[in-house]
């Protein structure tokens, strides 16, 4: 399809400055109400409306870019299509009745041209009409209402709109005399002739298209060939649109460059060019973003996007389809990109590192979550108690305290837990597993936190201090136990006598009175004691040490 856009045309004038066309003057008497067949001047009859032949009319012409595209224009998006009215078969005045509401047929402003089509409202640019309806004929009937149709670059047949019973309102559109008058561009698309506004049309303005050189000549319109604005094909050659887009991007890039100090301009421009021109189809899709175009709309919710693939992926939300499956753990998901991220879990690589504490992880999302610790950010708050945390998962787990939900069950003893980790630790009771071993004393335990606490025994540090007596210790639990000394409460009662005490260790020692058990034995004389302090005092007999009074 090759449209024709009329550039300033020279009208034929006589010596007195009047237009040359005696025959047309006669036709000017045609009344608006009298929409009978307009008889063409004899001289016009040899012509038909004609576009330049094109090999492929599957490309859609964009009047603003003056380019053709396979599909919609990537810059300006789709056309707004105004359909003709539906008219039942057999209506002898079908052509007039197909006229859309916002248009009217009345006497043309072009002297002697008969009827024409006017807009009652303002029409924006990129409004498409068509196809031009009529009878398909193989020979040019020279009716003056014929469009030549091309197939694979060769003249194929004509669409003749002479008969008002078989044509549509487009038959009334006249030929523009000058570029300034022209507001429609004609093009062939998929075997049909379409007209499209390429600039806004004011109310009461006549719709005018260009009929082609030969027909125009017959109508006394002389066009300056040098001013002809011919469309270039986008396919197969580098087109100006890419250049224009490139230039726009470079302009933006230069503005942004001010903020990018250490990037060389040439390098930056090169990158931009690569981004834009590397892949033509990507550019086409990319340009939709600039056009603000969202061609693809979800039929279920209000989601819309500018890529068909995005809509396809989106639809999986509604269908529940999860076509991607992990071969390692069976995890399924809706998007290949999610699977790519998931697979990092199964790799050993920890490519995301915290700059603050050196923590490394496999996923960028984990690092993001981790960074909340340093930011002191606690986004997630419990609605029941004052608990807050920086991970949604932690809040979810926490909420089980309030709901009583215990989804983790032990298959062996029926133990239930609200945390998977707790069940995992619990299972060690049944397996006897104690995966944590102290390198210093061989102590083993089930949990890493227990090992951490244990390791304090081997350190010299005594970070816990009693505020009452200044006693220091290595573990918080020891301080907690110690604090009972300063309280009046005597938690432990002997079941045999009336002895009570504050510490469990004291009760253990006391019970030896009743059992006769003597744990502390002198290595020198074999004497036995039930208290370590008694053995210590006894040892002075052997060492000769005297207690300072
Ligand atoms: C497709 S018809 C257009 C509708 C026509 N005006 C009618 O009343 O039916 C084409 C004919 O309209 C007339 N016409 C269209 N454009 C014209 C122009 N610029 N100057 C003179 N006549 C024109 C010519 O007679 C031409 O053959």
Map out the domains of the chain as residue ranges: 9-227, 519-549
Which residue minimizes the CA distance to atom 14 of ligand 1? 113
Ligand 1 neighbourhood includes 218 CB (under 6 angstroms): no
User: Atom of ligand 1 at shortest distance to CA of 211?
Assistant: 16
Per-residue confidence (pLDDT) for residue 215, from 0 to 100: 87
User: Atom of ligand 1 at shortest distance to CA of 113?
Assistant: 22
Q: How far is the CA of 152 from the centre of ligand 1 (A)?
A: 29
Could you identify the residue written with the tokens 């020979």?
A: 139
The 3-state secondary structure of 422-483, one letter per residue: HHHHHHHHHHCCCCEECCCCCCEECCHHHHHHHCCCCCCCCCEECCCCCCEECCHHHHHHHH
User: Atom of ligand 1 at shortest distance to CA of 173?
Assistant: 3
Per-residue confidence (pLDDT) for residue 26, from 0 to 100: 34
Ligand 1 neighbourhood includes 24 CB (under 6 angstroms): yes
Ligand 1 neighbourhood includes 239 CB (under 6 angstroms): no
Ligand 1 neighbourhood includes 113 CB (under 6 angstroms): yes
Residue 303's contacts (CB-CB under 8 Å, 6 or more residues apart) are 297, 311, 314
Per-residue confidence (pLDDT) for residue 290, from 0 to 100: 55
Parts of the chain with a pLDDT under 50: 1-38, 40, 42-44, 225-250, 252-281, 548-549
DSSP 134-194: -EEESS----S-EEEEEETTEEEEEEE---TTT--GGGGPEEPSSTTT--EEEEEETTEEE
From 144, 206, 214, 218, give the residue whose CB has the most ligand 1 atoms within 8 Å, as the site to mutate.
Answer: 144
Ligand 1 neighbourhood includes 134 CB (under 6 angstroms): no
Ligand 1 neighbourhood includes 112 CB (under 6 angstroms): yes
Ligand 1 neighbourhood includes 147 CB (under 6 angstroms): no
User: Atom of ligand 1 at shortest distance to CA of 21?
Assistant: 21
Helices (H) and strands (E) in the chain, counts: 15, 33
Per-residue confidence (pLDDT) for residue 11, from 0 to 100: 30
Per-residue confidence (pLDDT) for residue 318, from 0 to 100: 82
> Which conformational region is residue 126 in: left (phi greater than 0), alpha (psi within -120 to 50 degrees), or beta?
left
Q: How far is the CA of 109 from the centre of ligand 1 (A)?
A: 11
Ligand 1 neighbourhood includes 110 CB (under 6 angstroms): yes
Give the pLDDT confidence of 416-450 residue by residue, as tens digits: 999 988 898 899 999 999 999 999 999 999 888 88
User: Atom of ligand 1 at shortest distance to CA of 216?
Assistant: 19
The fold for domain 9-227 equals Beta-clip-like (2.170.270)
Cα 14 vs. chain centroid, distance in angstroms? 64
Ligand 1 neighbourhood includes 40 CB (under 6 angstroms): yes
């Amino acid at each position: 399809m090759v449209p024709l856009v009329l550039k300033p045309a020279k009208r034929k004038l006589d010596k007195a400055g009047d237009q040359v066309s005696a025959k047309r003057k006669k036709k000017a008497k045609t009344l608006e109400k009298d929409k009978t067949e307009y008889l063409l001047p004899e001289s016009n009859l040899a012509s038909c409306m004609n576009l330049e032949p094109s090999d492929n009319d599957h490309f859609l012409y964009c009047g603003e870019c003056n380019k053709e595209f396979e599909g919609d224009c990537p810059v300006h998006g789709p056309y707004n299509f105004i359909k003709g009215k539906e008219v039942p078969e057999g209506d002898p005045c079908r052509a007039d009745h197909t006229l859309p509401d916002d248009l009217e047929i009345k006497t043309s402003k072009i002297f002697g041209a008969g009827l024409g089509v006017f807009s009652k409202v303002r029409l924006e640019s990129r409004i498409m009409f068509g196809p031009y309806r009529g009878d398909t004929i193989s020979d040019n009937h020279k009716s003056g209402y014929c469009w030549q149709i091309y197939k694979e670059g060769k003249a194929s047949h004509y669409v003749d709109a002479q008969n008002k019973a078989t044509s549509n309102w487009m038959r009334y559109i006249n030929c523009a005399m000058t570029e300034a008058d022209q507001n429609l561009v004609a093009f062939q698309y998929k075997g049909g002739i379409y007209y499209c506004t390429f600039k806004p049309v004011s109310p009461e303005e006549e719709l005018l298209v260009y009929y082609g050189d030969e027909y125009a000549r017959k109508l006394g319109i002389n066009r300056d060939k040098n001013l002809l604005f011919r469309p270039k094909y986008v396919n197969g050659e580098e087109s100006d649109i890419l250049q224009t887009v490139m230039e726009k991007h470079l302009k933006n890039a230069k503005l942004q460059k001010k903020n990018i100090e250490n990037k060389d301009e040439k390098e930056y421009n090169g990158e931009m060019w690569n981004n834009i021109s590397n892949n033509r189809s990507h550019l086409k899709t990319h340009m939709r973003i600039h056009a603000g175009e969202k061609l693809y709309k979800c039929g279920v919710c209000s989601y819309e996007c500018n890529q068909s693939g995005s809509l396809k992926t989106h639809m999986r939300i509604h269908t529940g389809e999860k076509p991607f499956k992990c071969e390692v753990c069976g995890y399924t998901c809706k998007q290949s990109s999610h699977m790519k991220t998931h697979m990092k879990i199964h790799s050993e690589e920890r490519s995301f590192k915290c700059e603050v504490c050196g923590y490394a992880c496999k996923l960028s999302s984990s690092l993001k979550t981790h960074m909340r610790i340093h930011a002191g950010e606690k986004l997630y708050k419990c609605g029941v108690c004052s608990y807050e945390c920086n991970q949604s998962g932690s809040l979810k787990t926490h909420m089980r305290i309030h709901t009583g939900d215990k989804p983790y069950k032990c298959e062996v003893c029926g133990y239930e837990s609200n945390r998977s980790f707790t069940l995992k630790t619990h299972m060690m009771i049944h397996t006897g597993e104690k995966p944590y071993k102290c390198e210093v004393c061989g102590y083993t335990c089930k949990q890493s936190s227990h090992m951490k606490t244990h390791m304090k025994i081997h350190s010299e540090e005594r970070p816990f201090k009693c505020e009452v007596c200044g006693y220091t210790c290595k573990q918080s639990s020891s301080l907690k136990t110690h604090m009972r000394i300063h309280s009046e409460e005597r938690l432990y009662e002997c079941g045999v006598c009336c002895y009570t005490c504050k510490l469990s260790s004291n009760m253990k020692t006391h019970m030896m009175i009743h059992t006769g058990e003597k744990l502390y034995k002198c290595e020198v004389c074999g004497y036995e004691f039930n208290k370590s302090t008694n053995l210590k005092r006894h040892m002075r007999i052997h060492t000769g040490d005297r207690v300072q009074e």
